[in-house]
Amino acid sequence: MYDCIIVGAGPAGGTAAYHLSKLGRSVLILEKEALPRYKPCGGGVSPFIAQWFDFDFSPAISVKADTIRCTWKMGDAIEVSLETSEPVWLVRRNVFDHFIVQQAQKQGAELRDNTEVIGIEFKSDHWQVNTKNGFFQGRYIIAADGASGRMAKWLGFKDRLRRLAGALEAEAPAKVDRTNVIDLEFGIVRNGYAWNFPKADGYSIGVGTFMGGKAQNLKKIIDEYGKSFNLNLSTCQQYAYALCLWNGEQTLHTTNAVLAGEAACVVDPMTAEGIRPSIFSGLKASVAIDEALGGNINALENYSNTINTEWGADMAWAAKVAGLFYRFPSIGYKVGVKRPSGPQIMGKILTGQLRYSDVAGRAIQRLTSFNS
């Protein structure tokens, strides 16, 4: 009998496992893939996360970016050196996610990869977690099985405020000249953006669309975007994947279980940043489960409240800005991006030096006054 079974070994699950093990709890991580596993992702990580760990992330960081270059329809560029306290980290997700899990293992967490969870049953005071390789028992569960996971459904969460978005990513091996520059393109995809994030040995190029609307040929768009960097993406493997954007306050706990990471729909609806909030929720989930194991009957409810107030409240502002920006993107680009302060603010939000609540009022005013 484990104190906690964590389903999913992404940033949310790995973080929860690290902190719960460190608190002396017995933890089992179940992961359906063999680690290290690939995850479609740009791999842009906020350095803000460093404060939540007591180990050094250097071995898991591919390169660091201190410059953002934005374009509109692959022209009209603006390039800005970020005045942030730390550059943005660019990681390979197979390396980064596995690194966190390895730190958790050093603290005593057990990992069973290649072990897909296929169902769960509550047995009066604990969970039985059924996998393709037999069943396991845990007093508590953290469901950290990502955007396509089924744990939330099995745990009985219904009518969820889930806003699904879609993205397509290609990994292009290449010699990278400027490993410190992040590229963002706003004019070739509706309701989203395209990105080119450097790594030490190539690029992660992708397109994401976050607000629904008419179907778009993301494959055609990504191929065109790749050509602007002299990359032939049609010969690279391309991966389509869902994103679960924050879509309002939610209950994230149930009997002896919580949802964390993208299973809890924590992704920023403006930028699609998901790693930092997944790690944040994994951290808070570990604290809640530790307190619940210690007898605090309000611990899991407090977890839902914490995520709603400490992350969700700011995401409500992000959603308002996104609603206006992506509805009128050419204006958004002109008044929000094509000024040196625009990418500077983006950088500061990503690195945690600013919150949307600090800047949304002014951004909304600018966007609406230009539209009216």
Residues in contact with ligand FAD by the rule CB under 6 A = 7-13, 30-33, 37, 39-44, 116-117, 144-147, 149, 167, 169, 206, 241, 243, 261-263, 267, 272-276, 278
Q: What is each CA distance from 122 to 24, 127, 154, 221, 265, in whole angstroms?
A: 24, 5, 11, 46, 24
Using alpha carbons only, what angle is made at residue 44 by residues 41 and 48, rounded to the nearest 5 degrees? 135
Looking at the Cβ atoms of 263 and 289, the one nearer to ligand FAD is 263
Looking at the Cβ atoms of 4 and 272, the one nearer to ligand FAD is 272
| In the complex, least distance from residue 150 CB atom to ligand FAD, rounded to whole angstroms | 6
| In the complex, least distance from residue 330 CB atom to ligand FAD, rounded to whole angstroms | 24
Cα-to-chain-centroid distance, residue 170 = 17
| In the complex, least distance from residue 230 CB atom to ligand FAD, rounded to whole angstroms | 22
| In the complex, least distance from residue 264 CB atom to ligand FAD, rounded to whole angstroms | 8
| In the complex, least distance from residue 274 CB atom to ligand FAD, rounded to whole angstroms | 2
Taking the CA atoms of the chain, what radius of gyration do you get in angstroms?
20
| In the complex, least distance from residue 29 CB atom to ligand FAD, rounded to whole angstroms | 9
Looking at the Cβ atoms of 11 and 198, the one nearer to ligand FAD is 11
C-alpha 368/C-alpha 101 separation (Å) is 45
Looking at the Cβ atoms of 72 and 210, the one nearer to ligand FAD is 210
Looking at the Cβ atoms of 3 and 145, the one nearer to ligand FAD is 145
| Beta-carbon count within 10 A of 31 CB | 25
Provide the H-helix boundaries in 116-259: 151-154, 218-227
Looking at the Cβ atoms of 18 and 367, the one nearer to ligand FAD is 18
| Beta-carbon count within 10 A of 335 CB | 18
| Cβ-proximal residue to ligand FAD, closest one | 274
129 bridge partner residues = 120, 136
Residues in the chain, total: 372
For residue 50, which amino acid is it? Answer: A
C-alpha 128/C-alpha 137 separation (Å) is 5
C-alpha 238/C-alpha 172 separation (Å) is 10
By C-alpha distance, which of 108, 89, 102 is closest to 36?
102
Looking at the Cβ atoms of 18 and 366, the one nearer to ligand FAD is 18
| In the complex, least distance from residue 57 CB atom to ligand FAD, rounded to whole angstroms | 14
Half-sphere exposure of 309 (CA within 13 A, CB side): 7
